[in-house]
Structure 1
């Protein structure tokens, strides 16, 4: 169900510089061969400094910030060498402070996706969470990880440059128990991989489920993503009931609009559903540390391809169904289906579904989740 394949590499050899948007002069912090990282302070939020970082490997660039662990740009070439941003974005980093309702590019937690009834029971105690999605909790509550200022530290390795970020979520934040210490590594490799790794520890039994919420559009925001081809290595979804809370069952995708086991035109699949996709696909039936390929996204006209790898047991496919007249970067206005999210994560509402892979974390244990987005082109 989850075949492995070697990560392919770019055959393009392109060298470029992405102009930094802030007026403050950027300085090179680390450099290793063609790998470099630059950073500049762009503002403050809640008394903490916010930086914009640009990671460059000589072929592609990634822009990110320690505000919310947000990925704000991914610049990659097409088959003709044209460079374009392939994630929905706001114009400037400070715009994310108050205008990022859709969680563009954000690190989401403590619990990605939904917890039904905004509550769960753990070791005999019931915890009541912030309700921010009707009667439910979505992406960690009203002020989740995507609006927190993380403590950043740049680093370099022989084949990668990146930023290590840390955040302490205190006991009771948004209703979650335990002081949860989280480290997020975000790095760009020489092999055109954007690697993310979350690690968390707690001093009290709790639940944790972390992911990234980037909205991908491989045509460079020239239109919606109906012209994309998508493959998801999953035989089942977790169907939902009212409020998009899982029923606790598994539903086979074969013969349904959710069948992306082979590559499908996304527009044709969208025509078979009422609003769009916002569903968890089962990539594993139990937790494991194995990093495996879970999805492939292709844009035939540009030749861009993105392969997604994760250690999590599920991935949420969301086709930006409710985005309408949203003012994005570079004068673009985002509309429904203008992008697709592939959010690798634990299954929604797992704290209330004993038959789902557990998202519990105990003192002395460590939560780990690795995600890899790898880019290349085909001619």
Structure 2
């Protein structure tokens, strides 16, 4: 019998995460600011019902088998054409109609102590949502430092080559989840290029410099400063550069709330990061009576490039039997 959806807790006395086995979803994350005032900095719901009933616009979950968009829901691999469910205009988005965010994962380990952690596992079957081959996925959330959350994702294909690109889809509001929009947050991205998109938000294949455009966050800028120059708002993949390193990870972004001075430094080993400013969030009833409007949060989704399976010049997302997909994210919080 399948396990029931439930919420588990990770805490080290400084930060507390509530994470569900439904979609390996972060439902709440309590983080202090410089004065020690604690706020819940992620958008979400009080209970699991809205997640299970499909009311969540990917709040806090892990998406896959392939994050982001695949053009026309089609790709060819090893001479075979595969068709995926189309759930985003003409595209397949975030794994299809029932991606990894809409299933119960097994809890294989839940540890307290010096480095508390929870490990989730999910077995994706051959043909699930149109994808080839059986794949076992593991995701471990841990608190390795006082104000650091770490996520390690692994996926192992068992019998067929398959595209794999997982992403963590938390909507951040560092002022607190109920504190309005994130347009006054400042953002810096360690990426000098984006993959520009067509009218269906599919990358054209071009790698475009951000210099002189509203996409330039190479130095710290307010998110809202030039968002009006981007039709609809930011929903674009950045090509991450090799810059500062920590534990074998490269710095991807720094997000800061000017009111609390709460700061998030994001590190990863993924090649890309989707910047998404909650453009399609519109009056969603969230935690503690909050109503989330447009731009209520910002997503920083480290990932393989969107539609990479159909763009041979992009870094490959194909993983073969005998290989292992690995993807780590480090969320470092501070009050500076």
Aligned to 2:92: 137
Across the two proteins, how many residue pairs are aligned to each other? 330
Using the TM superposition, give the Cα deviation of residue 163 of structure 1 relative to its aligned residue in structure 2, in angstroms.
0.8
TM-score normalized with structure 2 length: 0.95
From 215, 232, 243, the equivalent of 2:189 is 232
1:316 matched to 2:274: yes
Matched residue SS, 1:186? strand
CA distance in 2, matches of 1:49, 1:377: 37
In 2, Cα distance between equivalents of 1:205 and 1:47: 27
Q: Give the corresponding residue for 1:27.
A: none
Do structure 1's residue 94 and structure 2's residue 49 form an aligned pair?
yes
CA shift at 1:158, angstroms?
6.1
Q: What TM-score, normalized by structure 1, do the two folds share?
A: 0.84
Q: Tell me which residue corresponds to 2:30.
A: 75
1:182-207 deviation line (CA, Å, top 9, x unaligned):
11111122332111111111120110
Per-residue CA deviations over 1:237-267 (Å, capped at 9, x if unaligned) read: 0000121011001000001000000000111
Are the aligned partners of 1:284 and 1:312 in contact in 2 as well (CA < 8 Å)? no
Offset of residue 51 of structure 1:
2.2
The one of 216, 234, 249 aligned to 2:172: 216
CA distance in 2 between counterparts of 1:123 and 1:142 reads 25
Aligned to 1:18: none
**SS of the residue aligned with 1:230?**
strand
SS of the aligned residue for 1:371 comes to strand
Separation of aligned partners in 1, 2:77 and 2:241: 24
Asked if structure 1 preserves the Cα contact closer than 8 Å seen for 2:65 and 2:95, the reply is yes
Tell me what 1:244 maps to. Answer: 201
Cα distance in structure 2, aligned partners of 1:200 and 1:267: 36
Q: How does 1:211-360 map to 2 (within 5 A)?
A: 211-220=167-176, 221-284=178-241, 290-360=248-318
Cα displacement string for residues 118-153 of structure 1 (whole angstroms, at most 9, x for unaligned residues)? 010111111111111122100000000001100003
User: What is the deviation of 1:373?
Assistant: 0.8
Give the deviation of 1:52 after TM superposition. 1.1
- Cα offset for 1:273? 2.1
For residue 290 of structure 1, report the CA deviation from its aligned partner. 4.3
- Aligned-partner Cα distance in 2 for 1:348–1:273: 19
Alignment of 1:52-131 (within 5 A): 52-131=7-86
Aligned counterparts of 2:18 and 2:112: Cα–Cα separation in 1? 18
User: What 5-or-longer segments of structure 2 have no aligned partner?
Assistant: none
Unaligned stretches of 5+ residues in structure 1:
1-45
Displacement of 1:156 in angstroms is: 3.2
Map 1:143-222 onto structure 2 (within 5 A). Answer: 143-156=98-111, 159-202=114-157, 203-220=159-176, 221-222=178-179
Deviations 1:88-122 (A, max 9, x none): 01111233101433000011000000000101011
Q: Tell me how far apart the structure 2 counterparts of residues 132 and 186 of structure 1 sit (CA, whole Å).
A: 29
Shift of 1:157: 7.3
* Residue 310 of structure 1, CA deviation: 0.8
Residues 328, 222 of structure 1: alpha-carbon distance in 2 compared, 3 angstrom cutoff = same
Structure 1 SS opposite 2:116: strand
- 1:15 corresponds to: none
Cα distance in 1 for residues equivalent to 2:100 and 2:183: 30
Rounded Cα–Cα distance in structure 2 between residues aligned with 1:101 and 1:242: 25
Cα distance change of structure 1 residues 303 and 264 upon mapping to structure 2, 3 Å threshold: same
